[in-house]
Chain A
Amino acid sequence: MRKLKEAIIEKTLLTSALVTIAVTAGIILVLSIEAVNFFSEVSVLDFLTDTEWTPLFADKHFGILPLLSGTLLTSIIAIAFAVPIGLSISIYISEYAPKSFRRTIKPALELLAAVPTVVYGFFALTVVTPFLQTFIPGLSGFNSLSAGLVMGIMIIPFISSLSEDALHAVPNSLREAGYGMGSTKLQNSFRILVPAASSGIIVSVILAISRAIGETMIVAIAAGQQPRLTFDPTVPVETITAYIVQVSLGDVQHGSLEYRTIFAAGITLFIFTFLLNTLSYQIRKKFREKYE
């Protein structure tokens, strides 16, 4: 009887693992098939070099660059905003704050990541953009600046929490070695602890980038839906994710070329995040080898 129960549990676990793998494989397969279909009609060269993305217009262009620039621009703004703040927070919590503060502030910060992104999107559109318009008169109602900044707020806890874990994991003996040499707290933090925790910090930033690139709601709501090859943060742009939402929600006919564009865009996104995750995995593996 016990044996049977164990066998059932084991089989159930195995099945769920297999289902997960099968679903992932299925997603990749569908993405690939539809992308191959797409690229049988549109040349890869055009896709990569055309500077316009107008699949829904009469004059169709299929250049991914405008969507890519929109994605990169919003992500760069988010990262540029979130890394210094997230890292400062992590250093403060790990090296300066009293232990009791650490115990309350960490979960509180992680709550930031639990806010639904649609809320962030409307915050960007209805609060941040009007606020920024008082300083930047030329700022459009939809723009990558406020979308990027709010996305930055969303990813701060990714960076601060994971970096803090990395700093916290630095052995106390190193901290004491630094202080013993006459370091100030600031010198100890930046010259000893941050370098010693660098792999963990880099991984946190990569995961945050990955999260920013894949983020959909905030950019769809606040950055606009105008594919545009630009690095001007004040004008509307469209990201890959926002485009996919736009087409998925629209009444594009299944199986049409327009429909397949979302798979071409999707696989581009997939390749990006896959590379980033692989990179972070590699760094983590190297880190583990170094300290074990």
Chain B
Amino acid sequence: MSKEKKDTVIDKSIKRKHKLQAKGVKVFYNDFMAIKGIDMNIRANKVTAFIGPSGCGKSTFLRLFDRMNDYVDGFRMEGEILIDGENIYKKKVNVEQLRKQVGMVFQKPNPFPKSIFENVAYGLKIQGIKDKKFLQEKVVASLKQVALWDEVKDDLHKSALALSGGQQQRLCIARALAVEPSIILMDEPTSALDPLSTAKIEELIYELKEKYTIVIVTHNMQQAGRVSDYTAFFYLGELIEYDKSKKLFTNPEKQQTENYITGRFG
């Protein structure tokens, strides 16, 4: 870890152990400190789960990695967030470019009120890609990736809003995958879904980690245990414990963590 920190030469071809890093991160909403100084390294091609009681700052912290808090009134940050060793809060960073590298899946499925095809093609189209054949191929591949293709292949030009909640959420994942990100952030992606749809998404997360670095916020500890390699427990804006999921759920170091995972929590 210390070797990583000293590494200032940026070479994307070197596969880094730590895809995402936070250094001394504090977040304020006006005067309220929501994140109280967090250092964290998140591994490449693993699934990392963020758990913790509601309001502890999981979403705030997650959204730092694609600068989604930039639009929030009163938001202010201190410290550094690095992706592939580069500080993404530097002035000259192209935020749009950054977000193509970092896909985001939200708590409530939020497909655009457009057709299924247009939803998946959107990210490519705004990059100026017009090649019909390429778009078609990419849309099909992305829908297959999330196992939605068989369900929608005859309805590509129907409104995405007609899909079920679970299908919409998989569509949103397909939409994010279509622009070939290397990181996928998910903020409680299954909390609005039924158990069957949840199972499908969990399965999908398992498959995706081959190619992507995934961070998932969840308040469902079984889910964190099932899908994640690493788990981070947050409490009141602080990172309390961060370890291999197996370790954290069976033998936590901190009393607070144990209280939370055993449900004894005030």
Q: Which residue numbers of A lie inside 8 Å of B, CB to CB?
A: 99, 171, 173-184, 187, 191-192, 195-196, 290
| A176-B112 contact in complex given A181-B122, A187-B126, C-beta closer than 8 Å | no
Chain A residues with CB under 8 Å of B97's CB are: 182
The reply to whether A182 and B126 form a contact with Cβ atoms under 8 Å apart is yes
Closest partner residue, chain B, to A196 (CB atom) = B113
The reply to whether B112 and A179 form a contact with Cβ atoms under 8 Å apart is no
- How does the 8 Å CB contact mask read for B95-119 relative to A, with 1 for contact and 0 for none? 0111110011010101111100000
| A182-B110 contact in complex given A99-B73, A177-B172, A191-B122, C-beta closer than 8 Å | no
The reply to whether A181 and B123 form a contact with Cβ atoms under 8 Å apart is yes
Closest partner residue, chain A, to B67 (CB atom) = A179
User: Bound state CA distance, A6 and B175, in angstroms?
Assistant: 58
Chain A residues with CB under 8 Å of B99's CB are: 179-182
Chain A residues with CB under 8 Å of B176's CB are: 180-181
User: Bound state CA distance, A180 and B113, in angstroms?
Assistant: 16
Is B66 in contact with chain A by the CB < 8 A criterion? Answer: yes
| Top 8 closest pairs, chain A to chain B, by CB | A180-B104, A173-B110, A182-B99, A182-B100, A177-B110, A181-B123, A182-B96, A187-B126
Closest beta carbon of chain A to B163's beta carbon, Å: 15
Closest partner residue, chain B, to A197 (CB atom) = B113
Chain B residues with CB under 8 Å of A180's CB are: 66, 68, 99, 103-104, 106, 176
Chain B residues with CB under 8 Å of A99's CB are: 73
Q: Given A177-B106, A180-B66, list of 7 further CB < 8 A pairs?
A: A173-B106, A176-B104, A177-B112, A180-B104, A181-B122, A183-B96, A184-B96
Closest beta carbon of chain A to B257's beta carbon, Å: 31
B106 contacts which of A176, A182, A183, A196 (Cβ < 8 Å)? A176
B112 contacts which of A182, A184, A187, A192 (Cβ < 8 Å)? A192
The reply to whether A181 and B114 form a contact with Cβ atoms under 8 Å apart is no
Closest partner residue, chain A, to B114 (CB atom) = A195
Chain B residues with CB under 8 Å of A177's CB are: 106, 110-112, 172
Closest beta carbon of chain B to A237's beta carbon, Å: 42
The reply to whether A176 and B110 form a contact with Cβ atoms under 8 Å apart is yes
User: Bound state CA distance, A183 and B94, in angstroms?
Assistant: 11
Q: 6 A–B contact pairs at CB < 8 A?
A: A174-B113, A176-B71, A178-B112, A180-B68, A182-B99, A182-B126
Closest partner residue, chain A, to B63 (CB atom) = A176
User: Bound state CA distance, A177 and B107, in angstroms?
Assistant: 11
Residue in B99, B122, B161, B176 whose Cβ sees the most chain A Cβ within 10 Å: B122
| A181-B108 contact in complex given A176-B68, A191-B126, A195-B114, C-beta closer than 8 Å | no
